Amino acid sequence: MALGEFELIKRYFYQSARAFGVQMGIGDDCALLQAPEGKVIAVSMDTLVGGIHFPRNADPELIAERALRVNLSDLAAMGAEPLWFTLGLTMPKVDERWMEGFARGLFTVADEYNIALVGGDTTRGPLAITIQVHGAVESDHALMRANARVGDLIYVTGNVGDAAAALAVIRQELTVGKSAFNYFMSHYYRPQPRLKEAKMLRGISQCAIDVSDGLLADLGHICEESGVGAKIDLERIPVSTALNKVAEAEQIADWALAGGDDYQLCFTVSPDKLGQVQALIDAGKLHANAIGEIVKGSGVEVLLEGEVFEPKRRGYNHFDTDA
C-alpha cells in the first residue's frame, strides 16, 4: 500500500510486544522468533474474503475477533499453545474507523490468549483477511487426525449445533427471544478456541480435530486419516438448553451433526486413558461427553437408541459416505 502504510501499521498494529521468544516483531524485514526448547512449531493459516466469508459491511471488530479465534482453534486441535501470529490485510481503501474497530477486536482476542502479532502485509484490493498463527507443542503430544485406534472412545467438548442455529437466525430462518439471540450470536461471532481443554488432554488423547465443518464431516476426517470407522449415538451428542428450546428434535439433530462453526474439539481416548479423562470431567475441569467409539471399517455411523439413523445431511463432499 502506498503513502501512509507505515503510519497505519504503527498506529493500529504496533501493540503487542511481550510474547515469548520475540527477538524482533513488527518493523523489520522479518520477525525473529525463538522456538521454545524441545518443542515443534505448529503453523496454520485461514483466509476470510469479504462478500464470501462475511458480508463486506460486517462489523470489523467481530470480523477480526472471529478470524483470530478460528485460527486459534486450529492450534487447540493440534494440542499446541499459541505464541505468535501474522496478518495479511487487503483493503479497497484505508478507512480509519474500520481499522480502529478491526484492531480493537484483534487485540481483545490476542490479549485474551496471549498471542503476539509479529508481522504481516498490507495491500490495496478487495477486502480480505489472512491470519497465520504459530504455536508450540511437544512433538509426541501433538493431537493428530491419524492417531485414532479401534476401541478408542470419541468425545466432544461443550455443545454442538449452536453456531448453525445462529446462522439460521442471521439468515432470518429462525426467530428467537432476546436472551437466546444474544446467546447464539456470541457462539457464532466469538467461538471459544478450546486451548485449555487441549492442554488438559496432553498425554491423555493423541487425536483431535476442531469441529468447523460439522461433527460428521470432521469426525469423518479423523476416520479417513486413521483408516478406521466411527459409531456415534445421537442421544449422547451434547446440545445446549438454548438450542433444545428453539427447535424440534429433527432440526436439532441436523444442526448438531452437520452444522459447522462450533469450534468444539472432537477427540479420541484409548481404553487405558479413560479413567484420566473421566477424572477431569468429574472434577468439573473438562466439559466433554463421550459420544461413541472408533470401530473397524470406514465412515461415521449414527445410531439412535441402537438403530441406524440416517442423517439429513452429512456435510462436506470429502466425507466418506460409505458408512
Cβ proximity of 201 and 144 under 8 Å = no
199 Cβ contact list (under 8 Å, min separation 6): 79, 81
User: For ligand ADP, which is the closer residue by CB, 8 or 239?
Assistant: 8
The residue number whose beta carbon is nearest to Mg ion equals 121
Give the Cα-Cα-Cα angle 66, 224, 85 (nearest 5 degrees).
Answer: 30
Cβ proximity of 256 and 213 under 8 Å = no
Instruction: Name which position in 121, 125, 275, 321 contacts ligand ADP (CB under 6 A).
Output: 121
132 C-beta neighbours (distance < 10 Å), count:
17
- Least distance (Å) from ligand ADP to the CB of residue 122? 4
String of contacts with Mg ion for each residue 14-43, x by CB under 5 A: ------------------------------
User: For Mg ion, which is the closer residue by CB, 96 or 121?
Assistant: 121
Q: Does 121 bind Mg ion (CB under 5 A)?
A: yes
Please state, in angstroms and rounded to a whole number, the distance separating the CA atoms of residues 90 and 99: 12
Q: Does 87 bind ligand ADP (CB under 6 A)?
A: yes
Please state, in angstroms and rounded to a whole number, the distance separating the CA atoms of residues 31 and 86: 10
Cβ proximity of 261 and 212 under 8 Å = yes
120 annotated binding-site participant: yes
Strands 288-295 and 229-233: antiparallel
Q: Which residue has 439468515 as its cell numbers?
A: 171
**Residue 108 interacting partner from Mg ion, ligand ADP, none (CB closer than 5 to 8 Å by kind):** none
Q: Which of 46, 42, 47 lies closest to 83, judged by CA?
A: 42
* DSSP character at residue 239: -
Q: Distance of alpha carbon 23 from its chain centroid, rounded? A: 29
Q: Does 120 bind ligand ADP (CB under 6 A)?
A: yes
User: For Mg ion, which is the closer residue by CB, 95 or 121?
Assistant: 121
Q: Which residue has 486413558 as its cell numbers?
A: 273
Helix-helix angle 162-170:249-258, to 10 degrees = 110
User: For ligand ADP, which is the closer residue by CB, 22 or 136?
Assistant: 22
- Least distance (Å) from ligand ADP to the CB of residue 193? 20
- Least distance (Å) from ligand ADP to the CB of residue 241? 40
Instruction: Name which position in 114, 122, 276, 278 contacts ligand ADP (CB under 6 A).
Output: 122
210 annotated binding-site participant: yes
29 annotated binding-site participant: yes
- Least distance (Å) from ligand ADP to the CB of residue 290? 42
As a whole number of angstroms, the longest Cα–Cα distance in the chain is: 66
Q: Does 89 bind ligand ADP (CB under 6 A)?
A: yes
* Binding residues with ligand ADP: total (CB under 6 A): 13
Which of the residues 3 through 32 are near ligand ADP (CB under 6 A)?
9, 13, 26-29
Residues in the chain: 323
User: For ligand ADP, which is the closer residue by CB, 79 or 119?
Assistant: 119
3-state secondary structure at position 19: coil
Cβ proximity of 220 and 298 under 8 Å = no
User: For ligand ADP, which is the closer residue by CB, 121 or 235?
Assistant: 121
Cβ proximity of 310 and 174 under 8 Å = no
Q: Does 68 bind ligand ADP (CB under 6 A)?
A: no
Q: Which residues are annotated as a binding site?
A: 29, 44, 46, 53, 74, 120-121, 145, 210, 212-213, 261, 316
Residues lying near ligand ADP in the complex (CB under 6 A) are found at 9, 13, 26-29, 87, 89, 117, 119-122
Q: Which residues are annotated as a binding site for Mg(2+)?
A: 29, 44, 46, 74, 121, 210, 213
Residues lying near Mg ion in the complex (CB under 5 A) are found at 121
